[in-house]
């Protein structure tokens, strides 16, 4: 028995033996495979939970890329509902990015603690303008006086352009006709209490919460309460903050002013406004994170907002990880050139294949006490399993860009449906604002130095729920094969071996005429 074990150990090696033995050669996902181990774990019993910082817990270790064809509020909402995290891209005016974050943070609440209120002497036209400006998806508003006392509820069916010149006070349901609940009645399970109220009060969809002085303290809506009640019964655990709001991240760039210096004031102001909207984490996203501008930006944000989790990148070296960690980043993005739309390796001749980069980064991260995420190059769930043997989460762009939740129109070409997917270093994306990410100015991009990404199409895929369920199922299968009940065991139990080109051919389907794909 001992000899057989020895044989396994010689051929299938843990990370600290395997990767150093390959030093000088850069490996990526398809270059290795994982050996199976004895298991008494069923895939469905495995946990995919990951902790990126003390305040940032995900129940699915998947983050949607901060790219303008991947993550805006619909993607961020849908991925957080599945336990992951969306990073809203920055190729849009700063005000719009703030609205996108608001949409995620306001999407489903248990108790809405800061409901958007209106005053009685405003016009319905003002309310319509507010909805338009802040892109609210709801139209019912509590009405309060200057001291915050509840005066009524403006019902959604009165918020119409035809009533634009009417005052809110004319259209609202007055206080005496409203059902409300006292804040102190909510001790214990507030959601269960609200759920009972809605069952007992036929046709009532909103429940304002008031204090002893009748000041508005919050609002329940029947749809949120129903969703949360359902969620409690389901297996998928959405990623939420301590106020039960969905988690949301936003990318920020190392913005420079007209003299080429870091625009410290603008960065601080924007991050401050993101925080006011409830953002949970900012990602300082650039192609070259081991650089002065990125370090200075991370340091600035860390000094100004000491408790805000910061993701920063991208790097592929131990020194790069150490540098960003010293500047104050909590989570470091690893990946230079692996992305499906990237041309950095072709254009600039730099970048490291992912698994080697992840191993080197993971050693530096452990020393610095930070987490790492594997960014780019993931094309199947098996890649995620391999990435998670070294990283704490993965960032996916192309895998999610075909989902209906990704931004962009669906187009039909020869009877097939596609969506646009483009690199943030492509000419079109840099013109739209992402030039700073690649160290250029937007005005440069016309006579452009060299694009580092392409514009492409992705076939339209199933909804994000279905895509993520497939990916999560694949990761759990991998964990079952390794006998790992959680992601920390996946790391410690991983045993690697290199695969030759013939082995890679063997790994895919072969020598058949495929009539139906596995997905």
- Positions annotated as catalytic residues are 342, 437
Between strands 416-422 and 455-459, the pairing is: antiparallel
Phi, psi of 10 (to 5 degrees): -70, -35
Q: Which of 90, 60, 78 is nearest to 373 (CA)?
A: 60
Q: If DSSP codes are grouped into helix, strand and coil, which group holds residue 216? A: strand
The residue from 111, 190, 391, 424 that contacts ligand XMP (CB under 6 A) is 424
Q: What is the residue whose two structure tokens read 């338009």?
A: 132
Among 81, 344, 356, 476, binds ligand XMP (CB under 6 A): 344
Q: For residue 313, what is the enclosing H or E element?
A: strand 310-315
How far apart CA 62 and CA 381 sit, in angstroms, is 11
Task: Please list every residue from 109 through 168 that binds ligand XMP, using CB under 6 A.
Answer: none
Q: Is 428 exposed, middle or buried (0-12, 13-18, 19+ CB in 10 A)?
A: middle
Among 238, 398, 402, 474, binds ligand XMP (CB under 6 A): 398
The reply on whether position 433 binds ligand XMP by CB under 6 A is no
Q: Which position's Cβ is nearest ligand XMP?
A: 453
Stretch of residues binding ligand XMP (CB under 6 A), selected from 152-160, 200-208, 222-230, 338-346: 338-346
Least CB distance to ligand XMP at residue 208 (A) = 42
- Among 218, 423, 474, 478, the residue binding ligand XMP under the rule CB under 6 A is 423
Among 425, 433, 439, 478, binds ligand XMP (CB under 6 A): 425
Q: Least distance to ligand XMP from the beta carbon of 223, Å?
A: 33
Q: Total binding residues for ligand XMP by CB under 6 A?
A: 26
Establish if 396 lies at the interface with ligand XMP (CB under 6 A). yes
> How many other C-beta atoms lie within 10 A of the C-beta of residue 379?
14
Closer Cβ to ligand XMP, 83 or 289, answer by number: 289
Peptide bond between residue 435 and the one before it cis (omega within 30 degrees of 0):
no
| Residues 35-74 close enough to bind ligand XMP by CB under 6 A | 65, 67
Site stretch for ligand XMP (CB under 6 A), options 180-188, 227-235, 316-324, 337-345: 337-345
In the bound state with ligand XMP, the residue whose beta carbon lies nearer, of 301 and 373, is 373
Minimum CB distance to ligand XMP, residue 303 (Å): 26
Distances in Å between the Cα of 342 and the Cα atoms of 196, 420, 421, 489 are: 52, 15, 11, 32
Would you list the DSSP string of 422-436?
A: E-TTSHHHHHTTGGG
Is residue 342 close enough to count as binding ligand XMP by CB under 6 A?
A: yes
Residue 339 within binding range of ligand XMP, rule CB under 6 A: yes
Give residue for tokens 């069916």: 157
Nearer to ligand XMP, 74 or 423 (CB): 423
Strand pairing report for 62-64 and 56-58: unpaired
Shortest CB 19 distance to ligand XMP, Å:
22
| Interhelix angle 464-482/73-81, nearest 10 degrees | 40
Instruction: Give the rounded distance of the alpha carbon of 12 from its chain centre.
Output: 34
Cβ nearer to ligand XMP, comparing 318 with 335: 335
Closest CB 198 distance from ligand XMP, rounded Å:
41
Which residues have C-beta within 8 Å of that of residue 26, sequence separation ≥ 6? 352, 353, 356, 357
CA distance 403 to 423: 17
* Cβ closest to ligand XMP, residue 85 vs residue 482: 85
Tokens representing 425 are 């270093």
Is 402 near ligand XMP (CB under 6 A)? no
Q: For residues 276 and 285, what is the distance between their CA atoms, to the nearest angstrom?
A: 21
Cβ nearer to ligand XMP, comparing 335 with 353:
335
Cβ–Cβ under 8 Å, residues 206 and 178: no
Least gap, CB of 256 to ligand XMP (angstroms): 20
Other Cβ atoms closer than 10 A to 76: 29
- CA–CA distance, 65 with 90 (Å, rounded to integer): 11
Question: 221 vs 354, which CB is nearer to ligand XMP?
Answer: 354
Residues of this chain, 467-496, that bind ligand XMP according to CB under 6 A? none
Query: Does 375 help bind ligand XMP (rule: CB under 6 A)?
Result: yes
Among the listed residues 340, 362, 420, 476, the single contact to ligand XMP using CB under 6 A: 340
Q: What x-and-dash track marks residues 274-293 binding ligand XMP by CB under 6 A?
A: -------------x------
Among 101, 216, 452, 478, binds ligand XMP (CB under 6 A): 452
Q: Work out whether 337 is an interface residue with ligand XMP (CB under 6 A).
A: yes
DSSP three-state, residue 174: strand
Select from 213, 214, 300, 230 the least CA-distant residue to 261. Answer: 300
Q: Which residues bind ligand XMP (CB under 6 A)?
A: 65, 67, 287, 314, 335, 337, 339-342, 344, 375-378, 395-399, 423-426, 452-453
């Amino acid at each position: 028995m001992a000899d057989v074990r020895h044989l396994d150990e010689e051929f299938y090696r843990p990370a600290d033996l395997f990767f150093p033995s390959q030093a000088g050669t850069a490996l990526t996902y398809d270059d290795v495979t994982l050996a199976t181990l004895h298991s008494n774990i069923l895939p469905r019993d495995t946990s995919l939970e990951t902790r990126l910082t003390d305040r940032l817990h995900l129940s699915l270790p998947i983050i949607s890329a901060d790219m303008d064809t991947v993550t805006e509020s619909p993607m961020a909402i849908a991925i957080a509902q599945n336990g992951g995290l969306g990073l809203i891209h920055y190729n849009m005016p700063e005000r719009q990015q703030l609205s996108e974050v608001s949409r995620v943070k306001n999407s489903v609440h248990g108790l809405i603690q800061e409901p958007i209120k209106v005053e009685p002497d405003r016009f319905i036209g003002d309310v319509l303008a507010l909805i338009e400006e802040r892109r609210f998806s709801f139209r019912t508003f509590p009405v309060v006086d200057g001291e915050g006392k509840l005066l009524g509820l403006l019902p959604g069916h009165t918020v119409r352009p035809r009533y634009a010149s009417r005052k809110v006070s004319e259209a609202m349901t007055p206080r005496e006709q409203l059902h409300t609940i006292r804040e102190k009645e909510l001790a214990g399970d507030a959601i269960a209490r609200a759920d009972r109220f809605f069952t007992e009060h036929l046709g009532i969809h909103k429940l304002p919460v008031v204090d002893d002085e009748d000041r508005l303290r919050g609002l329940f809506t029947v749809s949120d309460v129903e969703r949360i009640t359902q969620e409690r019964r389901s297996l998928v655990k959405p990623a939420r903050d301590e106020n039960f709001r969905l988690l949301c991240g936003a990318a920020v760039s190392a913005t420079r002013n007209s003299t080429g210096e870091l625009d410290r004031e603008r960065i601080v102001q924007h991050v401050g406004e993101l925080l006011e909207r409830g953002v949970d984490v900012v990602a300082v996203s650039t192609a070259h994170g081991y650089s002065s501008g990125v370090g200075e930006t991370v340091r600035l944000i860390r000094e100004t907002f000491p408790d805000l989790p910061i993701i920063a990148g991208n790097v592929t070296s131990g020194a790069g990880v150490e540098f960003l960690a010293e500047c104050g980043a909590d989570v470091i993005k690893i990946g230079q050139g692996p992305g499906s739309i990237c041309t950095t390796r072709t254009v600039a001749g730099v970048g490291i294949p992912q698994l080697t980069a992840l191993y080197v980064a993971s050693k530096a991260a452990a020393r610095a006490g930070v987490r790492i995420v594997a960014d780019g190059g993931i094309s199947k769930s098996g890649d995620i399993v391999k990435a998670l043997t070294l990283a704490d989460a993965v960032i996916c762009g192309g895998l999610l860009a075909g989902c209906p939740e990704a931004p962009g129109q669906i187009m039909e070409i020869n009877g097939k449906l596609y969506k646009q997917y483009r690199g943030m270093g492509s000419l079109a994306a840099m013109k739209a604002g992402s030039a700073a990410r690649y160290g250029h100015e937007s005005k440069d991009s016309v006579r452009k130095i060299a694009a580092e990404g392409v514009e492409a199409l992705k076939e339209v895929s199933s909804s994000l729920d279905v895509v993520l369920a497939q990916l999560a199922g694949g990761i759990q299968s991998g964990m079952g094969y390794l006998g790992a009940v959680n992601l920390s065991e996946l790391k410690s139990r991983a045993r690697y071996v290199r695969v030759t080109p013939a082995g890679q051919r063997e790994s895919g389907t072969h020598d058949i005429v495929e009539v139906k794909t596995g997905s």
